[in-house]
Amino acid sequence: MENSNLVWNLHEKQLSISGFRKFEKARIEGIFEEDIWDRDIVVAESGLIDMQKTIKEGKPLTLFVGYSPGRPHLGYILMNRFLKSFRRYDSTKIILGINIKESMETHNRTLEETLKSNELVERALLGDNTREITRVYDLSFLNDLSIQKLHNEIYSRVVRELTFVDFNKIMGWDEKTPLSQYESTCRAISGMLYAPAQNQGSSSLSFTDIKHLPFVRLTKKVSKKLSIKEPSFLVTTALPSLTDETQRMSSIGGDSTIYLFSEVEELDKYLKVRSGGRPKEEQMTYGGRPDSCLALKIASYIISSHETERTISECTSGTRDSCRECKKLMANYMNHEMNSL
């Protein structure tokens, strides 16, 4: 399955303009050994050389994760695995950029409900390991005074430097775009720049998926204007929806989403996902079509790379003559991964 190559080819021009290079697993061998790097998820990177040097020299590394706390879903397992990969280095710290206001509006919830939801999100992201965590909220009264003071300074500088032309050219926004979207984007950018603004000599890494590339372009642009060290970035492919693989799985996805911290029945949705099978007799002769199987594509993000390869081999050889039995097996693997949180 060539998820990352396909995404790179579709977005190569924009990625190249933004200073990204195609991710090559060979460049991180000997540093990151976890299975997450064997899955076809990472598309592109910037600043990876500096990041590797920081890790090898044992210098401080800060990871930034921005999100709006919704109902935790399968996609959080991916970030959990990436964070674990970096957090085995003692000098790694994490900054969470938490969009509480945006989440309240999106999910129509109270502040109390949203904060409780965020507790579940943090558990999905970090497990029980909460050392060296800094939380930067978009609601100022939730922040510590020292954090809010620094964040306000960065935010004010970002707002001064980003012009309407920048938003129009990169985001396609105009006078009809709600002001709240401009403010939210500036706060997200301020969060990415929070760590390097404190210590210009430190290295920081932000995670994003391909659909957030415009935010990254703005961040890179404004960091140069502010003379703040540009964060490194890893661009990943988004976990697809159960019902439409052109869309990403989301916390408000309903039947298109597999939620965490739920009963096993949650995986019943997965058994209805489109497979790449043929009529039984043809399947036994020619095998299945894994490249057109959404069920396998979703599972490949979560189950081990070894299990993915074995599934593809047994599918194409005709060993597995029933797509439903194959999906049941992959659902069991995914359930194991979910319970490991």
The domain limits of the chain are 3-236, 262-339
- Residue 256, C-beta contacts closer than 8 angstroms, at least 6 positions apart: 241, 242, 243, 244, 247, 249, 250
- Tokens at residue 56, please? 């090898």
Mean local confidence (pLDDT), 149-167: 94
Each residue's pLDDT tens digit, 269-293: 899 999 887 777 777 777 888 888 9
The pLDDT value recorded for residue 253 is 81
Q: How many CB atoms lie within 10 A of CB 183?
A: 15
The three-class DSSP label of residue 310 is: helix
Does residue 225 surpass a pLDDT of 70? yes
pLDDT for residue 145 is more than 60: yes
Domain 3-236 is found in CATH 3.20.20.80 = no
Between CA 334 and CA 71 the distance in angstroms is 18
| Cβ neighbours around 176 below 10 Å, total | 5
Identity (one letter) of the amino acid at 268?
Answer: D
State the Cα–Cα distance between residues 155 and 197, nearest whole angstrom: 11
The Cα 117–Cα 138 span in angstroms is 16
Report pLDDT digits (tens) over 173-197: 999 999 988 998 999 899 999 988 8
Bridging pattern class, strands 21-22 and 42-46: antiparallel
pTM above 0.75, yes or no: yes
Residue among 302, 303, 317 nearest 74 (CA): 302
Average pLDDT of the residues of the chain: 88
Closest by CA to 283, choosing from 324, 311, 323, 331, is 323
Cβ neighbours of residue 215 under 8 Å, at least 6 residues apart? 185, 188, 189, 208
Beta strands 203-209; 42-46: pairing state: unpaired
What is the rounded CA–CA span in Å between residue 98 and residue 136? 6
Closest CA to 92 of 238, 209, 203, 226: 203
CA distances to 87, 138, 172 from 125, rounded to whole Å, are: 12, 19, 32
Q: How far apart are the two ends of the chain, measured CA to CA in Å?
A: 26
Write out pLDDT tens, residues 62-113. Answer: 999 999 999 999 999 999 999 998 888 878 899 999 999 989 999 999 999 9
CATH topology of domain 262-339: Tyrosyl-Transfer RNA Synthetase (1.10.240)
